């Protein structure tokens, strides 16, 4: 009888534990569902602000194919990240478009967020300037592809956008020095003199073109340019030193520590955790350093050898026309006019900088430069670089390279970028060879 009583008590205790476990589990599950539902609702609200009436365009196919992925795509990026305070939606969308332009292989998402920039109150000129800024940090292929997608968006929205040239006025070298003083403080001296013995034209190009030309364009605030730069550097990865410099630059331009942290948190969505963690580590270091020493005021005038802009834009342009004619047999005017409807300065930059500054340099002939470009674009391997790769395979043929030399320039990249990228480049080369019957 005693034994039976013990068994009954044990059974009752087991039953009670099971019941309690079920109840607690139910509470936890219900709480989790409630939290998930909250995040989803919050995410949809933000998604509607960014995506407008077409906010669910990407969700509907996902919902049918992979419902959990569709749910998480709302909850995490939009419910957890984009809905946070600390960075307004205009800046968040500038950051997104900058990062996606730099990546160069995410056209549908970039297009969605170009729409998003416009939906949250950015101007068409701010869209163009954000994408053009990528010329400095991701190269011309990324910027050209981004502008092409922006054109599609503007056409779809029937925007009456009449772009005008927004080139800064004045001596580009001095403008560049002033910009570096404003954003980098006394680092300007290091930037202006580094590589002076090895490659003296490199700091000049940084100061004149990157800082003097692009960073001084109106249409995008200095703070937004710093944010766009941080987003691009994070998306590209392995840029810790530059991240440190531009965290300080963003603070000098009026950003807060909270805004910078929010920007980096947002990059977990668009650049991934690994790249973002590296950028956060760099940012953390500079925050520690700045808290110890503060942000020093820049010297009124850096101790640099006085110099002016090396030559006029027209001189670069004429030299670029000559180089382009040799390489591609294309009309320079056609290149310029191809962007007149949306970014008229981009065509001029291609001629003046890519061809007039770089391809026209001595010491390497055009054939070697074209083969080197083919190799570089093979390694880049983005959607944005596909058309430029075909253009430069044609260019290599035009300046005397033969079929086998081009093939070797692509195969040369196998040890450094792997077989997949090389196969994709070879397929594009094969298409060019067939078109030209070589």
Looking at residue 15, its pLDDT comes to: 58
Long-range contacts at 71-76 (CB < 8 A, ≥ 24 apart) = 71/36, 71/40, 74/39, 74/40, 74/43, 74/44, 74/47, 75/36, 75/39, 75/40, 75/43, 76/39, 76/43, 76/269
Decide if pLDDT at 179 tops 70: yes
Reported confidence tier of residue 420, pLDDT bands at 50, 70, 90: very high
Looking at residue 8, its pLDDT comes to: 59
Whole-number Å distance between alpha carbons of 214 and 259: 24
Residue closest to 321 by CA, chosen among 311, 306, 336, 308: 336
Decide if pLDDT at 282 tops 60: yes
Instruction: Check: CB of residue 129 under 8 Å from CB of residue 171.
Output: no
Whole-number Å distance between alpha carbons of 357 and 317: 9
Reported confidence tier of residue 299, pLDDT bands at 50, 70, 90: low
Looking at residue 37, its pLDDT comes to: 85
Q: Taking residues 74-90, what's their average pLDDT?
A: 96
Backbone angles phi, psi at 159, to 5 degrees: -75, 135
Instruction: Check: CB of residue 340 under 8 Å from CB of residue 165.
Output: no
Helices (H), 52-139: 59-65, 67-74, 89-103, 107-119, 124-132, 134-137
Residues contacting residue 131 through CB under 8 Å, at least 6 positions apart: 97, 101, 143, 146, 147, 150, 343
Reported confidence tier of residue 100, pLDDT bands at 50, 70, 90: very high
Whole-number Å distance between alpha carbons of 351 and 361: 13
Q: Taking residues 107-128, what's their average pLDDT?
A: 97
Looking at residue 29, its pLDDT comes to: 44
Angle, helices 124-132/140-156, rounded to nearest 10 degrees: 160
Q: How far is CA 377 from CA 30, 219, 427, in A?
A: 52, 30, 13
Q: State the pTM of this model.
A: 0.89
Looking at residue 80, its pLDDT comes to: 96
| pLDDT, averaged across the chain | 90
Looking at residue 4, its pLDDT comes to: 54
Reported confidence tier of residue 343, pLDDT bands at 50, 70, 90: very high
Q: Taking residues 273-284, what's their average pLDDT?
A: 96
Looking at residue 68, its pLDDT comes to: 93
Looking at residue 332, its pLDDT comes to: 65
Reported confidence tier of residue 305, pLDDT bands at 50, 70, 90: low
Residue closest to 218 by CA, chosen among 134, 346, 126, 88: 126
Looking at residue 42, its pLDDT comes to: 95
Looking at residue 20, its pLDDT comes to: 46
Q: How far is CA 207 from CA 144, 185, 191, 308, in A?
A: 22, 14, 8, 11
């Amino acid at each position: 009888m005693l034994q039976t009583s013990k068994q009954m008590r044990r059974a009752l205790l087991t039953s009670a534990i099971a019941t309690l476990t079920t109840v607690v589990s139910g509470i936890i599950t219900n709480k989790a569902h409630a939290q998930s539902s909250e995040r989803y609702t919050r995410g949809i609200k933000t998604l509607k602000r960014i995506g407008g009436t077409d906010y669910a365009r990407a969700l509907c196919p996902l919902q049918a194919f992979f419902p959990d992925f569709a749910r998480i795509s709302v909850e995490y990026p939009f419910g957890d990240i984009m809905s946070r305070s600390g960075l307004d939606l205009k800046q968040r969308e500038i950051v997104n478009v900058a990062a996606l332009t730099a990546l160069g292989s995410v056209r549908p998402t970039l297009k969605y967020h170009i729409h998003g920039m416009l939906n949250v109150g950015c101007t068409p000129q701010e869209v163009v300037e954000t994408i053009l800024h990528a010329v400095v940090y991701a190269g011309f292929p990324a910027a050209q592809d981004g502008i092409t997608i922006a054109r599609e968006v503007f056409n779809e929205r029937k925007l009456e956008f009449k772009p005008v040239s927004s080139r800064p006025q004045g001596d580009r070298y001095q403008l560049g020095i002033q910009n570096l003083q404003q954003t980098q403080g006394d680092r300007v001296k290091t930037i202006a003199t580094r590589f002076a013995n090895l490659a003296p034209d490199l700091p000049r190009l940084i100061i004149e073109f990157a800082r003097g030309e692009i960073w001084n364009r109106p249409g995008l605030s200095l703070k937004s340019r710093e944010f766009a730069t941080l987003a691009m550097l994070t998306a590209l990865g392995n840029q810790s030193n530059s991240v440190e410099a531009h965290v300080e630059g963003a603070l000098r331009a009026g950003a807060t520590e909270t805004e910078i942290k929010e920007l980096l948190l947002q990059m977990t969505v668009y650049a991934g955790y690994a790249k973002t963690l590296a950028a956060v580590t760099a940012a953390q270091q500079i925050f520690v350093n700045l808290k110890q020493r503060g942000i020093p005021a820049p010297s009124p005038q850096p101790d640099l050898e006085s110099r002016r802009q090396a030559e006029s834009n027209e001189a670069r342009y004429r030299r670029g026309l000559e180089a382009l004619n040799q390489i591609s047999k294309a009309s320079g005017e056609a290149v310029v006019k191809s962007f007149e409807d949306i970014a008229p300065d981009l065509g001029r930059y291609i001629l003046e900088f890519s061809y007039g500054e770089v391809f026209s340099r001595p010491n390497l002939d055009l054939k070697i430069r074209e083969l080197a470009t083919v190799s570089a674009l093979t390694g880049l391997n983005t959607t944005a670089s596909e058309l430029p790769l075909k253009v430069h395979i044609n260019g290599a043929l035009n300046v005397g390279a033969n079929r086998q030399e081009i093939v070797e320039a692509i195969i040369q990249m196998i040890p450094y970028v792997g077989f997949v990228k090389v196969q994709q480049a070879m397929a594009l080369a094969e298409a060019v060879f067939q078109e030209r019957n070589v």
